[in-house]
């Protein structure tokens, strides 16, 4: 498919009755406000999520109480500042040189640069820098735990760094983000000899995966585009099951049609039922994810269907907030390592971008080393890394229990390489045995993770064994989906029904006759095995 400067163009629209396609304070204060704020006394931000420690400005619960006939959107509107917004963002070619002048408004429908390369959302960093790091830390911290629209969302609590110009009325949010940063105490100690291991549970989320973080941003922007009468009839994606779930849920919440292309028989039942239940138009296509991705790219260049995959750089703006959240949850201390499972490879770049923005804007003084973990059955990035980044070759992705990363031709390969090179990063891989064992081991310590998180944990185990990651260093493993989406893989594993897999940590249920003696026998044996050895 040729992209002519990739501005959304439709031959079909011009022939049919589709609309024409040619058009293309707020302050958080746990501490005194940084002096820089006084230069912006007509604040860039609204006042609804601000709390102040200064006595003459302290919030009055009665006065600020929501009016009886208001909802939280109305309330936010009442509090909104009339001051001019000084922040902005635009699309630019990804990793463009300093001489590049190519850029697009976020209100344009564009996914690729003139040369066919990836795009990136570029913020006006000078405007953001007018506020110092302490200001941003305080602002973001002040929004946690409140129900204020839209800042209750872990994503929109960073609104100024995402879509600074969007009207909060256009935002479509399920108050995603603010996910648990779980201290993996027992897993770390028992299997890795680590006591500072953390799992960022991005999958404990509205639709059960980290995709919600990006989708709230993308669907909000689509909502805005539709209000601006831009030609967006629906939103579409190719998916291995999580993007489609998030897309269909957010679109359903906003009343926007969604269309999802799924590789037939390659996603879990739980994932399949999500877009069906949310009223998406579901196409089950007899190909793999890469085949679906190719088709959706072709279709979205012909029809007024907005592309929701992470090729669209808007998605990564939302996903980058998980990195900012990790720093926030550690009280703005930087972990040493962050390990992310990779498939289409948008997320590893999103993490890099989130960390890097925090460094550039003075919230932290360094960034973590990143690890991207792939399934050995779908490992084009790993192969590229092993070749010393000499030659990238797409692969035919083979079946893997980590089905959401069964991707052989990742669209964000360039973004991933950039993120890894600039974070002194590493790529690792996990065989099917390794990832399933790691998942079972993690589950045995009280987690209930997805196979993709098993891939990331395998990478950690390998890096611990080789001594690259030391025992005492603070490490975060990103868990990308909820384990309940992948119960069949756990059932297969614990039933030891997987051909050629030892299933070393299987814990099958015991069949027992319905009589007291039989039950006592098995219990006595079980308890005997568990008795502490004296
Ligand atoms: C559960 C899960 N984990 C990891 C990934 C990989 O993310 P990315 O495609 O951004 O590399 C995906 C999707 O690809 C996913 O659905
Ligand atoms: N795992 C993804 C694959 C597509 O990734 P995307 O981030 O480019 O949408 C999925 O769940 O579909």
Q: pTM (2 decimals)?
A: 0.90
The contacts of residue 483 (CB under 8 Å, 6+ apart) are 203, 439, 443, 447, 448, 449, 450, 490
H or E stretch covering 181:
strand 181-183
Least Cα distance to 156 among 284, 317, 22 occurs for 317
Which DSSP state fits 470?
-
Atom of ligand 2 nearest to the CA of 214: 7
* 243 Cα to the center of ligand 2, angstroms: 5
CATH of the domain at 511: 3.40.50.1100
Are the CB atoms for 216 and 318 separated by under 8 Å?
yes
Q: What are phi and psi of 217, to 5 degrees?
A: -70, -50
Residues 364, 327: contact at Cβ < 8 Å?
yes
Cβ of 345 less than 6 Å from ligand 1: yes
What would the two tokens of residue 419 be?
């993120």
Closest Cα to atom 9 of ligand 2: 309
Residues 6 or more apart from 285 whose CB is under 8 A from it?
Answer: 261, 262, 263, 264, 291, 292, 295
Q: For residue 401, is it within any domain?
A: yes
Domain count for the chain, please give it. Answer: 1
Report if residue 17 sits inside a domain: no
Residue nearest to atom 12 of ligand 2 (CA): 239
Give the pLDDT of residue 81. Answer: 76
Question: From the CA of 307, how far away is ligand 2's center (Å)?
Answer: 12
In a domain, 509, yes or no: yes
Nearest CA to ligand 1 atom 15: 404
Interatomic CA distance for residues 334 and 356, integer angstroms: 11
Q: What's the burial of 284, exposed, middle or buried (CB within 10 Å: 0-12/13-18/19+)?
A: middle
Distance 342 CA to ligand 1 centre (A): 6
Close Cβ partners of 90 (under 8 Å, ≥ 6 residues apart): 103, 104, 105, 106, 121, 122
Ligand 1 pocket mutation, candidates 341, 379, 411, 418, criterion most atoms within 8 A of CB: 341
Does some domain include residue 47?
no
Between the CA of 239 and the centroid of ligand 2 the distance, in Å, is 5
Give, for ligand 1, the residue of 346, 452, 478 to mutate: max count of ligand atoms closer than 8 Å to Cβ.
452
Indicate whether 114 belongs to any domain: no
Rounded to an integer, what distance in angstroms lies between the CA atom of residue 119 and that of residue 353? Answer: 13
What residue owns the CA closest to ligand 2's atom 11? 242
Ligand nearest 419 Cα, by number? 1
pLDDT tens-place values along the chain, 534 residues long: 333 333 333 333 333 333 333 333 333 333 433 333 333 333 445 544 444 333 344 456 666 677 888 888 888 888 887 778 899 999 999 999 999 999 999 999 999 999 999 999 999 999 999 999 999 999 999 999 988 999 999 999 999 999 999 999 999 999 999 999 999 999 999 999 999 999 999 999 999 999 999 999 999 999 999 999 999 999 999 999 999 999 999 999 999 999 999 999 999 999 999 999 999 999 999 999 999 999 999 999 999 999 999 999 999 999 999 999 999 999 999 999 999 999 999 999 999 999 999 999 999 999 999 999 999 999 999 999 999 999 999 999 999 999 999 999 999 999 999 999 999 999 999 999 999 999 999 999 999 999 999 999 999 999 999 999 999 999 999 999 999 999 999 999 999 999 999 999 999 999 999 999 999 999 999 999 887 766
8 Å CB contact between 234 and 258:
yes
176, part of any domain:
yes
Residue 277 lies in a domain: no
Residue 218, domain member (yes or no): no
CA of 345 to the centre of ligand 1 (A): 7
Which atom of ligand 1 is closest in space to residue 350's alpha carbon?
A: 10
Range of the domain at 169: 120-210+313-533
Q: Edge-to-edge strands of the sheet including 305-307? A: 281-285, 258-263, 234-238, 305-307
Cα–Cα distance, 252 to 236 (Å, whole number) = 13
Nearest of 378, 374, 327 to residue 354 by alpha carbon: 327
Position in ligand 1 atom list of the atom nearest CA 240 = 16
ipTM score:
0.99
CA of 164 to the centre of ligand 2 (A): 25
CA 199 to chain CA centroid, Å, is 14
Tally the C-alpha atoms within 13 A of residue 425's C-alpha that lie toward its C-beta.
28
């Amino acid at each position: 498919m040729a992209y002519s400067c990739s501005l959304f163009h439709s031959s079909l629209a011009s022939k049919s009755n589709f609309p024409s396609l040619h058009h293309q304070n707020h302050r958080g204060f746990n501490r005194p406000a940084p002096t820089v704020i006084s230069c912006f006394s007509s604040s860039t931000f609204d006042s609804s999520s601000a709390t102040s420690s200064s006595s003459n400005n302290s919030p009055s619960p009665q006065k600020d109480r929501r009016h009886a006939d208001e909802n939280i959107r109305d309330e936010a509107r009442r509090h909104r500042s009339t001051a001019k917004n000084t922040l902005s963002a635009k699309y630019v070619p990804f990793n463009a040189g300093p001489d590049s002048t190519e850029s697009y408004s976020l209100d344009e429908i564009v996914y690729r640069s003139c040369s066919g390369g990836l795009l990136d959302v570029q913020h006006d960093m000078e405007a953001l820098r007018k506020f110092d790091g302490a200001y941003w830390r305080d602002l973001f911290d002040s929004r946690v735990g409140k129900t204020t629209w839209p800042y209750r969302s872990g994503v929109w609590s960073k609104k100024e760094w995402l879509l600074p110009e969007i009207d909060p009325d256009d935002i479509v949010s399920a108050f995603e983000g603010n996910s648990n940063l779980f201290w993996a105490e027992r897993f770390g100690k028992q299997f890795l000899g680590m006591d500072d291991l953390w799992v960022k549970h991005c999958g404990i989320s509205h639709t059960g995966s980290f995709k919600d973080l990006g989708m709230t941003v993308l669907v909000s922007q689509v909502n805005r585009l539709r209000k601006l009468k831009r030609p967006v009839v629906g939103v579409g994606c190719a998916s291995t099951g999580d993007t489609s779930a998030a897309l269909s849920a957010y679109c359903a919440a906003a009343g926007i049609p969604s269309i999802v292309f799924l590789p037939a028989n390659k996603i879990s039942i739980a994932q399949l039922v999500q877009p069906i239940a949310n009223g998406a138009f579901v196409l089950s296509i007899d190909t793999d994810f890469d085949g679906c991705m190719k088709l959706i790219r072709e279709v979205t260049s012909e029809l007024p269907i907005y592309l929701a995959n992470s090729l669209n750089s808007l998605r990564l703006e939302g996903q980058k907030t998980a990195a900012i959240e990790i720093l926030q949850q550690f009280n703005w201390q930087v972990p040493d390592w962050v390990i992310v499972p990779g498939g289409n490879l948008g997320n590893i770049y999103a993490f890099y971008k989130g960390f890097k923005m925090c460094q550039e804007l003075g919230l932290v003084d360094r960034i973590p080393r990143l690890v991207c973990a792939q399934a050995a059955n779908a490992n084009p990035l790993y192969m590229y890394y092993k070749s010393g980044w000499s030659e990238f070759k797409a692969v035919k992705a083979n079946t893997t229990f980590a089905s959401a990363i069964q991707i052989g031709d990742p669209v964000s390969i360039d973004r991933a390489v950039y993120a890894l090179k600039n974070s002194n990063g590493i790529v690792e891989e996990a065989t099917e045995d390794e990832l399933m064992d790691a998942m079972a081991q993690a589950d045995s310590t009280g987690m209930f993770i997805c196979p993709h998180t098993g891939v990331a944990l395998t990478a950690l185990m390998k890096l611990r064994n080789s001594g690259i990651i030391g025992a005492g260093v603070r490490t975060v493993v990103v868990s990308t989906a909820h384990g309940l989406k992948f119960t069949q893989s756990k059932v297969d594993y614990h039933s030891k029904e997987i051909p050629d897999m030892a299933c070393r940590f299987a814990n099958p249920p015991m069949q027992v006759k319905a009589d007291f003696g039989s039950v006592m026998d098995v219990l006595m044996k079980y308890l005997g095995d568990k008795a502490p050895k004296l």
